[in-house]
Structures are given as C-alpha cells and as structure tokens.
Amino acid sequence: MFRTISQRLLPRCTSMRQKHTLPDLPYDFNALEPVISAEIMLLHHQKHHQTYVNMLNQTEEKFMEAKEKNDLKTMIALGPMLRFNGGGHLNHSIFWQNLSPNGGEPEGELLEAINKDYGSLENMKNIFSSATVAIQGSGWGWLGYNKTTKTLAITTCANQDPLEPTTGLVPLLGIDVWEHAYYLQYKNVRADYVKNLFKIINWKDVSVRLAFAKQ
Amino acid sequence: MFRTLSQRVWPSRTVLVREKHTLPDLPYDYNALEPVISAEIMQLHHQKHHQTYVTSLNQAEEKFLEAKEKNDLKTMIALTSQLRFNGGGHINHSILWQNFSPKGGEPEGDLLKAIEANFGSFDTLKNGLSSSAVSLQGSGWTWLGYNKSTNSLAIATCSNQDPLEPTTGLVPLLGIDVWEHAYYLQYKSVRADYVKNVFKIINWKDVATRLATARQ
C-alpha cells in the first residue's frame, strides 16, 4: 500500500499511497452467459465494484489525513467505510477469478478435501447452496479454509464483510447474493441463480487458493 | 392473533386458533406509480417479495407454536430470527404501500408544523432522509419516525427487515425501502435517482394520519 521515497531525494521521509484499481475481468462481459448476463456483468464490474474501489481510495485518503492530525475519533469513525468498501473490493476481486466460462470440476487435493469434509461434492454444494440462499438481506456465501483445523468450512457474511478479517477463514469460493448480482435476470428467484452459478465455477482457481492457504 | 374457543364446547381443553397473516391489497393499480416506480417492480415487490414474507411468517409462527406446545425453548429462540425477518418484512411493506400515492402532494397542517419544528424545513427533512437512504450499507430501510417520549420526529435506519418500532421504539411514519429489489430493474445501481424520485409519490396524508395516531 505504501512506498517510501529515498531520503536522498527528499530530506524528510515521505510515503506515497498506491491507489487501489479495478482489476480487469479475465473474460469478456458476455462470457458467462447464459448463467450471468452481459448486462449484469457490466453493471456489477463497472458500476458496483468500481464504486467500492473509488470509495475505498477516498476513505483511505481521509484516514491518512486524520492519522497525520492524530485525529483518532475520525480514524475510528472511518472504520465502517473501510470495511464496507475494502470488503467490497476484496470480495469482488476474488469473485471474478472464481468464475469462468469453462470451469470444469474439482480435482486433486481440492476434491479430496471436499470429500473428506463433506462426503461428496454434491453434499458440499447442497450445504453451500442452502446457506447462501437463506442469507437475510445482502451478503455472501463462502467456502473457506480453516488453517487451524485444516478443514474446509461453509459460512456466510453480511453485506461486504470480508471473510478472512471477519472469521479468520481463508476465502476459496464466494457466492455474491446481493440482489444486484442476479436480479435483472433471475428477479426474486435467488435459488435459481445459485443453482446455475455452479455451472461456471473456476475450480482451478479454487484449488490454487486452497494450495496457497495450506502453505 | 389468537381466538380462544369456548370451554363449553370442549370442556377439557382450551384451543388456540391462530389467524393467518395475509397479503394486503395495494390501494392503487400496479402501474399507478409510474413513471417513478414501474408496474414490473410493483408487481414483483408485492406479489413475490411481500407475499413471501407473509407465507414465511405464517410458517414461522406455526413452527413457533408447535415448539411452544412441546416446551421446546431452544427451537422457539432459534425461530426468532425468522420471525423478525419475515414479520418485519410484512410490517414494513404493509406500511410502504400506504405511504405511496400516485398523486403525491406535500405535508400540511400538524405534520408540516412538526417537520418544521424538528428539521427547520421540509427541504431539510428531504435532504436528511435522502442522504440516510443513499448511504445505507447493504439492504435496509430509512425511516421518518415519531418519538413518543420526546414528542419529536427523527430519521432512523434499520438493516434488512428489522421493523422500526420493535427495534428503536420510534413509531414509523414514512419508510424508504432501499433493498435493491425496490428499484434495481428501473434505476440499476443509481439508488440516488430512485430516492430522489420517490419523494414525488409520497402520500403525505397517510404520513399525517400515522403521526396523529401516534400522538394519541
């Protein structure tokens, strides 16, 4: 997040904050059709995620200004904005990678872990789906990794609360059930959206995240 | 919620019969609030979302009573989340449909006096409600409520379907639903435009009636 410029160039130490930027999608906006429409992908990426990025940068700016003035009350007051927009940025950055037009099926160590902790892929998907569909309001369903117990876990977070800072679990696969993620296409039938989403999961990405988490 | 059947009919038992909640009709046609809120949104919002809250509320109450009969306290407690979510959803939307009117208008009389006393002006109130509604994180409602203890108006927000009065003690006068289903089909990500436009269709007579009732 910060770079320190050499003291030979600037006699007083200065740090420069690198701004967060919207990551590109690894596929075209229409690549996930018919599961997720191009219209949704466009709005979701260029409006919603972009807004989280912009607001996160603004919030970090204000936070640093407050820090320089030693204004602790403001630093604390900015917490919810940092969490909401920072979480939004973290979550969506994972989400775009979690999806793929040709995602395949879980294999290798990921499949072993799923079978060990859930009995079967089918069982994991059922538990994951029910938990996610039952979320009250806006939030995310997550398949996560518990580094302490070395097990997979399914849980949910409200709004944009990011999984790891909130629960300690390492995020492997997220399902966004904010209405903006599906409403234009699925209307109120969240269950259909969640069911269809499993057709476009990038299981290689989920495997890579698990491998990293285990290191 | 309950009717007790006469003990003369069943001398040994008192039976409680629960009346089910039902979806209230809209006081206007689905297209009546256009162009501010499309007929498509009104239909989905009323017949799908609100109906689901009603159906799930009835189911939750049914399960709660079954658990009560078995003295299953753990289940009763576990059901409170469903009760709050679906009960809140039913309460909130029942108010919302009445809060709207195709004719809109402006606050008058005692309501206007109260608004001016508490906020300075109607415009200040609108600005306050708008910023609150637009900045709400996630799903929820912004409310104009009445504080019976202090005899004053207040702006408050609740998340998800948390109902205003059980949650804060404030009596609900006017609610702004900012769940994405309330506006997304029409306004997409631009919640601010929806909130701005919604002020054109507020039934201020209904708001005034709620205030009068709350003050009794």
Overall fold of domain A38-98: Helix Hairpins (1.10.287)
CA distance A43 to chain B (A): 7
Q: Do B161 and A136 touch (CB under 8 A)?
A: yes
For B49, which of A43, A160, A188 is closest by C-beta distance?
Answer: A188
A108-214 topology per CATH: minor pseudopilin epsh fold (3.55.40)
- Tell me the per-residue pLDDT of B32-56, one tens digit each, with 9 for 90 and over: 999 999 999 999 999 999 999 999 9
- Mean pLDDT computed over every residue of chain B: 93
H helices present in A69-171, as ranges: 72-77, 79-98, 108-118, 121-133, 163-167
**Angle (deg, nearest 10), helices A121-133 and A108-118:** 70
Share of chain A above pLDDT 70, in %: 92
Confirm or reject contact between A88 and chain B (CB < 8 A). Answer: no
Tell me if A183 and B180 make a contact (CB, 8 A cut-off): yes
Nearest CA distance, A136 vs chain B (angstrom): 7
Is B215 near chain A, with CB under 8 Å?
no
A136 to B160: CB separation less than 8 angstroms, yes or no: yes
Per-residue confidence band for A12, with pLDDT thresholds at 50, 70 and 90 = very low
pLDDT digits (tens, 9 = 90+) for B67-115: 999 999 999 999 999 999 999 999 999 999 999 999 989 999 999 999 9
Q: Give CA–CA dist A23/A34, Å, rounded.
A: 23
Q: Do A179 and B160 touch (CB under 8 A)?
A: no
Token pair, residue B53, equals: 């809250």
Annotated binding-site ranges of A for Mn(2+): 44, 92, 176, 180
Residue B47: predicted pLDDT: 98
Contact, B88 vs B160, CB < 8 A? yes
Q: Where are the domains of chain A?
A: 38-98, 108-214
All residues of chain A having their beta carbon less than 8 Å from the beta carbon of residue B139 are 137-138, 179
Separation in Å, CA of B64 to nearest CA in chain A = 19
B122-135 and B191-198 helices, crossing angle to 10°: 150
Burial class of B100 by CB neighbour count within 10 A (0 to 12, 13 to 18, 19+) = buried
**What is residue A17's predicted lDDT score, i.e. its pLDDT?**
66
User: A137–B52: do the CB atoms touch at under 8 Å?
Assistant: no
Q: Does A55 touch chain B (CB under 8 A)?
A: no
Closest in A47, A159, A184 to B185, CB measured? A184
